[in-house]
Structure 1
Amino acid sequence: MIELTAGDGHKFSAYRADPPDAPKGAIVVLQEGLGVNPHIRAVTNAFAAQGYLAIAPSLLDSVKPGVELGYDEASLSEGANLIRQVDNANVLGEIQTTIDAAKSAGKVALVGYGWGGYLAYAAGNRVNGLACAIGYYGGGIVSNYGEKRKIPTLLHFGENDPIIPLEEMSQFRAHRPDVSVFSYPGAASGFNCDACGSYQADAAQAALERTQAWIFQYVEGQPPIALKNSGAYAQAKVDKKKKKKEAADDLGPQMD
């Protein structure tokens, strides 16, 4: 564990895992509401083994330092109670501090699970220095469409999640076409966690492969050129035309 200092001066701990060789980038792992427990450390270690500097901040330290909870009913209840006591501004500050601590390794991705999945989505538009954000089964996302995403965002949901109805996921997709949303048949919340009874290996593997591809694209490489008249290609053509027009004046970029 390492100790980090947020912008307002308060300190919190974080679990850091270094890659075996020079890092290809960095990943900030956001915990479930159960602390940086063995599962979150295992996830962080796995990202490091793939060549990334990986850091998981302890986002409950301000309420209960060093908390590590399991997945039984009593632990889940305690975790939910701790989350209710957390100051949201503090959490965003701690996420920003962790990103700043990781960015020396290259571009930074934010990956969150459960409560952390919600935080990854929320923080993606409110912190600086991110290449992309990825959230797993974050409650509260699909019922609040929010503003257009400022960075590439990928979300994973289980279609049997009792807290996140499939109908709401469909409505979210319609309202937020700028977000890549995948749902997994037969899976519930926690399908990625092999310490949970809701673990589903097939869904976890499919989501991991998409997550890895997303990180490779936005952390390691450049976004691909899309087909003509669509996506990145079309934007490149528009940008080229804009540059020609802007060459005649010095008014700066057009305001939205």
Structure 2
Amino acid sequence: MKIKIPKRFLLVSYLSLAGSGLAHAADVHPLEQTTGLKRFDATQRLTISQDSRSTLDIKSLYIGDNALASAMSLYDQGAKLHHIAGSTRSDKVRLSFYQPYQNSRLEQRLELNFNKFNGFITKISSLYTVESAYVGIKDVLNDVLTSAIAKYGNPLSIESARQQAGVQQGDVPLNRYIKTLEPRVDIAAQVTDYFQDLRVSLSAKLVNDDKGYALLHSGFNRCYIWQTQSYNEILTLCSFDPAAANAANRGVELSLVDFAVQKKIAATEKINSELSLTL
């Protein structure tokens, strides 16, 4: 027996299903369907403990935060998705904010490095560049430094660096400064490696800037340094020497790491056992 279904009923049913599908699509955030991020769960968090989140932040994002949730938050604030990158599985996402600056436009590009297996942020960098070649990078550096000091306090002073390294006056060789570091025992190797990576030239040294802060000179790179809890967290503000040919293209970069949280994130990686076949 063939039952006839009124066309009006079929139309109403179709529209109801279509409407529910659209409602579901509206609930899904664009970044939740973006290749490189959609494999993560935005609600996943590190277990709560002392080393589950950094105390310092950049734009209210912390080391140990969920990368997808953080990227969604930036996107909802008006950031433009710049790039998602990595090797076989992406491990970083960049989003950009734009604002007028002098007679040009300033781009703040936030890069979130995250663990490939679980999506927790391991490092945050904020790069500032200006579109116009007529705006000096020194102006940008001074403005970012002023803002950083207002938020994080003063960076390492030259007097503190001299006192730690046992230098009476003048510049402080970076290799000598590294030898006097006293980080937590469990992260000592990571801290030392971090400073060794900053030593891009054998003559790297901490010099006195015009405000009494220690400014790291290493090749063309110039960096201010903040640290908390015996180098548990390190924040750097780096740029090339303003006289360098590509200083404007390099921009000014604010970068945050937290070694204790990084170790906790690494400990949560999925264990990938090798497949053993008997043929």
Asked if these proteins are the same fold (TM beyond 0.5), I'd say no
Higher strand share: 2
Give 1 or 2 for the bigger CA radius of gyration.
2
- TM-score of the pair, normalised by structure 1: 0.27
- TM-score of the pair, normalised by structure 2: 0.26
Higher helix share: 1
